[in-house]
Structure formats: C-alpha cells, structure tokens
Structure 1
Amino acid sequence: MEKYEQYLSDNAEDDERRAAAQVMEGLAGLRLEAKLREVAAEQATQHRRTLWRKLLFTLAALAFLAAVAYWFFSKNEATTSVPPSEKQAPSAPAPRKEQAPEQDKLEKPREKPPIAQIKPKEEVLVPPDPIFPTFALQDELIPEPLNPAPDLVATRGQGEANAALKALLDQLWYVTYPLQGLEVSGAFSSVDENLKKRDFTAAYLELEQLSSTQATNDTLHYLQAYCLMETGEGQEALLHFAQIQGRQLAREPQLQWYRGLALLLADKRSEAIALFNVIAANSGNPYRRQARKALKLLQ
C-alpha cells in the first residue's frame, strides 16, 4: 500500500490520481452502507421487541379490567338475588312529641371542637401507572422514555462497559421527532417520512445524496446529527451539532439535551455531566428534569 501511495505521489499522472481517489471514495461509501444496513437490522429487531413488550402490557391491563368487571357484575347479581321475605319491614312511625315551650325551641349554639381535635386532611398519593412506569426524582415523577437507546458498536474487551452505558442511555433516551424549531421543506419531505417511520438508514442515505446536490444548511446538519445519534454514532453527531449550536433559540434547549446524549455516546462523560449541570440549573429549560435525572444516575 505504501509503494502504491508513493507511486501515486511521484510517478502517477493526473488521470491515475483521480481514478485512485474515486476508487477510495467508492470503498468508503460501501463500508458506510454496510454499517448502516447492520444498524438498520439491529433497529428492526429492537423495534419488534418493543412492540411485543407493549402488546404484553396491553393484554395484562385488559385481563385486569376484565377481572374487575366480572367481580363488579357478580356482586350486583348477588345483591339483587335476596328474597323479598328477608327484606326489612317498614318501621312504625315514631310517636309525636309534645310541643315544647317557646324558650326550649331556641337552639344552643354549637360548640366548636378544640383545635387539637381537628385532624388535618390526609394527602392521597396516586400510585404510578403500571403500564407506563415513572422515575421518582425527589418530588417529581418523570415518565420513562418512549423508545430505547440505539445499540452501541461492539468493542473488543469493553463488553461490560458497553452494556452498562446502554442500560444508562435506555433510561435517558428522551429523543423525539419532529425536531423543535425545524421546518421541513419540499426537498426533505421524503426524509421526513422516513424519520417518522424511524427508518434512520434510509433517511441518512437520502441526506447524503442531498448534501451532494445542494448547499449545506442548518436543516441538513440537524437532520444528519439526529440520524447519526439514533444509530449510535455520537462523535459524528457532535460534529454536526457544533455547526448549528446557538443559531436559533427555539431549538437550543433540545439541541443542548441531544448534545449531552451524544457526548455520552462518544464516551465523554465529564463533558456530558458539565452540560447536564447547565441544563438542570436553567429553570426555563424544558429538559431540566431529564438533566437532573441524568446527574442522579451518573453519580
């Protein structure tokens, strides 16, 4: 390979150099396409597992409701089956009392009970929904993420670390689409449909084609960063996030949160903690509760 590169730099003609560059770009594209297909297959498997889990939760809830309905109707049938002979007879009217003098008709004012005898109202604690579990954070209940985090790229000798990071990200993957502050134009309509179907591989391939035919813009950077993050490519997603950071206030809170998740994907734990501290300290950031949850789990 070194002799080949030396030949290209010293003796090769311009046509040979251009042909060699095209071959290298083609090989890089094939490697990227193979990796995206592998990620898509893993995403499909995870999606099927999620559907089965939701189906089991739904069947359990329906079974519980059916049991409650059966108990309620059986109790009503038992109440209506009591024979008439066992019903209580109407009580005799009470004898009329003699009219009391006018001075006895005046009622005495009711005495108020002592303050010590007044019991405070008991607070009713509503249990969390068993179908949609929640995470208790001090006095707050945070719903669990709707979708799991992407599977991490396997690294030799780091299986346990990757599994721990995947379990952590599953509890913090508050990632939704459509993205905030993003207006999708006609050129991105097909990409938008694929992202709504969570087909990140097809969406990213279309974005790569668009990047070669039109000028780079914020919409392209934001969608590429989102696709890369959903396929576990945190370092590459950070490069696109850096291009649009601070440009639009409407999407800045979500962009900060997504950058924090991308930092965790890229194994930059200290930088992620620093960013989560900034988000948690901002009372106007809608992701402040998620950031406090992340800081608690990262302790």
Structure 2
Amino acid sequence: MKIRNLIYAVCNQLLRPKSWRNIFITYDAFGIFSRYSHISRSTGRPKIMYLSKSDAKKAADVMSKKYGVHFSVYKCIWCDGWHIGKNSRNKVKPETVIIRQKIPFIMQSNVLYETLRQYPIVDLAPVYDRGVRGRTLSARESNWLLAKLRESGVKVIIDLRTADHTDRYDSSVADAGLEYYSIPIDSKNTDVHQIIASLSTLFGLMDRGNFYISCAMGRHRTDIAIALYYVLHPLVPFEDVPEMKGHRNIEKKFFRCEDIATRLNSVMRAISSDELELLGLPTDYESEFNRRKKHLFDVNRNFKC
C-alpha cells in the first residue's frame, strides 16, 4: 500500500456527494480498506484496473446498463488505479429495467453460439451473451470439435461430470489449447459443501465469458449449474432468467424442476454466513434466494415465450 494512494482514496471518498452518509450511516466508505476492494471475491484475482477515474466511470456506466444495477468507481489504496464496485443497496433496479421483467426470457445476442451452430455439437445452446452449453466432447472422434471451439473464441471448458469424469478428456482439452476446469455438480450425490466451495470459481469463469459448459448429456447437470449461477450470483439481474433447456419439453409443454430444486435447496440449507460473504451475498439472503428460485421456475413453466 502506498501512502499516496491512501491519501488520494480517502480524499475521493470525502469529496463524494453522499460522503457523510457513506461514512457515518452505511459505512460503505470503509470498504476501500478491505483487501476485496482490490481482489475479486469470486476469482481471488486482482480486479480490473483503470488508469483514470474517467475510464472507470465509462466502464461502470456500461455495466450499469448491462446488469440493471448501479456500479460506482473508487480509487484503490492497494494499486495505482481505479476499480468498479457495488454494494447490496445498489441491487434496486431502475424503472426502465423493471419494465423488462414482463419479458419471459431476455434475448441476448451470442457470437459464440452463432459461430458454433454450424457444427454437430449435441444440445448446443447459448448461455446468456457470454458462453455456450452442450454435451461433453469427450469422445476421441470429437477432438476436432474442441479445435473448432478454440477457433470460434472459446477459452475454457467447464466439465460438470462427476463419476463419469475421465482424465483423458483433460489432456484432449489441453492439446486443443483450451483451459480445463472440473466442477462436479449433480442433483444430490455430490457433497453439497464441495459444490459450495466451487461456486466462486464457477461464477468467475462464467462472468469471464468465452466458456463451453457441459455434462455427459449437456442437459440436466448443466441446467443445475446455470440455475445456481442465476439464484446465487449477485451480479445476475433478477429479470435475466436462464432457460432450463434440459428440463423444458417445448412440444409437451412440460417443465420438470424437481432435481433442480433439490440441489438449490440443499445448497441454501448448508451454506454458512462466511460462504455467503465470499459469494458477495448478505447473511439474510434466503428470502431473495426463494424469490429468484420461484421466478426461475415460473418463467420456465411459461411456454408462450
């Protein structure tokens, strides 16, 4: 920590329009002294550094429009740059964003999906605007598809398989020039604390984008992982409900949510206050968890979308 940065950061807090409230009522101003003001809770890596306040402000405005919540900028005391942050009170959506809740699924362009849909990848589908999902490409005859993933812009493979995981697939992914992460997730057999411990990594990879997330069939475990991302990640707007591709039968207009609910509920029951804090969630998050879970299921039961 440099004294110059400390003085600059404190002065910046004092000059804010709501400095008195931030210091003596909400205590938000004291957040600059936390190591998490410089390091991301989800990835454990340094946050993106902007060289000037104006650059950070431009990026914050873009993120506010994208996620529907307010992002602020602050001078970092741990490095020479500026960072972007938000607090729990900034989760209130502006009126223009709340209107979007009437739309069942938010339609977002996905360059990866549009590029990859020409290839025979089973159950390929977009995941928001930043990644794709599908069946695990672990068969030897699928190695050429791993190369196509890399050529199309995919950077990382997220493998959700449990007992059916094979080390050979790790090597195939590495040979294709891709990063590989094994994050075992299922409805009830995987230890719940193992899943909770992996959530910050999962959320960080999904936030980073350019991922291919998969399970053996590309459907059920993938749905559970994406549901966990929506329900337990504070950066995902309430109205951005993901489609549970593996559990929605469009033709029969049937949505099966039991195994998704089983895993979501097991995580919420087992998660500690410290683990909630590591995910950037308040200790009283259960009511918001229930609200999001209900909205996730209600939207996926709507077959007019």
Normalised-by-shorter TM-score class:
under 0.3
Larger Rg belongs to? 1
Question: Given the two structures, how large is their TM-score scaled by the length of structure 2?
Answer: 0.24
Which of the pair is proportionally richer in strand? 2
Which of the pair is proportionally richer in helix? 1
